[in-house]
Structure 1
Amino acid sequence: MKLWQLDLSQLKQIKIKDYILRFFFGGAISVIAALIALLTNGRIGGIFMAFPAILLASLTIINREDGKHKAEEDAKGAIIGALAFVITAIVLSLTLQVLPGMLALFLALVIWLLCAFGLYALSYRSGWLRVRKQQPAQTFGDRRHS
């Protein structure tokens, strides 16, 4: 049973406009978060820095290119990533008070890796994150009679 597979050949299929869209979303959200942090305080700005700008752009592109089903599957993976991120942020906020910065960051990285891969494996084994084969849409001339 494969939990995941890396296929770099698909990188050639990404269009330049898709990269631009991701760059625009990510940059716009980063600027907005920085402005919010300047106008209020760092904690509120930090909340907006966690906004998944790239996720929104990617899901839009996936939905357009591969359909709603594939976008839903990627969104489920993003939920797992977000949970791991929240756990990591909590650990980091607590450990920065008692450990040197680099050690706290290293510990947070280890926690993130354990949480992300652990939650992914649990979700995959439970069937919640299993990618199902999508049936191709039938066209009018392609209908088969049983």
Structure 2
Amino acid sequence: MKISPSSLREGRWYEYVVRFVLGGAATVFTGLVSTWYGASIGGLFLALPAIFCASATLIEKHEIRRMREAGLDGTRRGRHAAALDAAGAALGALGMLAFAGLFSLLVQQSVAGAFAGASLAWLAVSVAAWFARRKARLSRSSPARAKSRPAIKRSRPF
């Protein structure tokens, strides 16, 4: 896992507008569902990845464009990058489920405490799910290859 602010320059202005509009539309939809059916039902829609659809297609498009600039097709790599993004969204959704569950249990005692505890639960579950997925992927590959690669790639030795 790493943060790469330089990737923000890869996007075009209209791609960010699409993300903003789709995210806003998902938020409005969630608000309408809450108004019509109550907060309990509307809360279920808060886990909806508001910009996932837009980001998945944009990730695929960026990878294809990058590979074509290098003289390659890039279709397969673009699909693979979008699939990895989808897997990350699913792992994040598990974290959101933990957040919602713990928050609902603790909110009667303290809203701030419930938010802090639920945020830590989200982080712990999401990171644990990511490591579990990575370990499962490595164990499915050849045993010799899985043991030879470190779980976390480091840029400098410790």
Contact 2:56–2:82 (8 Å) recurs in 1: yes
Q: Does residue 55 of structure 1 match 2:40?
A: no
Question: Matched residues in 1 for 2:46 and 2:92: separation?
Answer: 15
User: CA offsets, 1:62-95, max 9 Å, x none?
Assistant: 1222211110011111111111111111111111
Instruction: Please report the RMSD computed on the Cα atoms of aligned residues, expressed in angstroms.
Output: 1.4
Q: Which amino acid aligns with 1:62?
A: I
Map 1:90-109 to 2 at 5 A: 90-97=101-108, 99-109=109-119
Shift of 1:106: 0.7
Matched residues, number: 124
Structure 1: runs of 5 or more not aligned: 129-146
Which fold has the larger relative contact order, with Cα–Cα distance below 8 Å and residues 6 or more apart in sequence? 1
TM-score, structure 2 length as denominator?
0.73
Specify which of 80, 83, 108 is matched with residue 69 of structure 1. 80
TM-score, structure 1 length as denominator?
0.78
Structure 2: runs of 5 or more not aligned: 64-77, 139-158
Contact 2:19–2:51 (8 Å) recurs in 1: yes
Secondary structure at 2:48 match in 1: coil
Structure 1: which 4+ aligned runs deviate by more than 4 Å? none
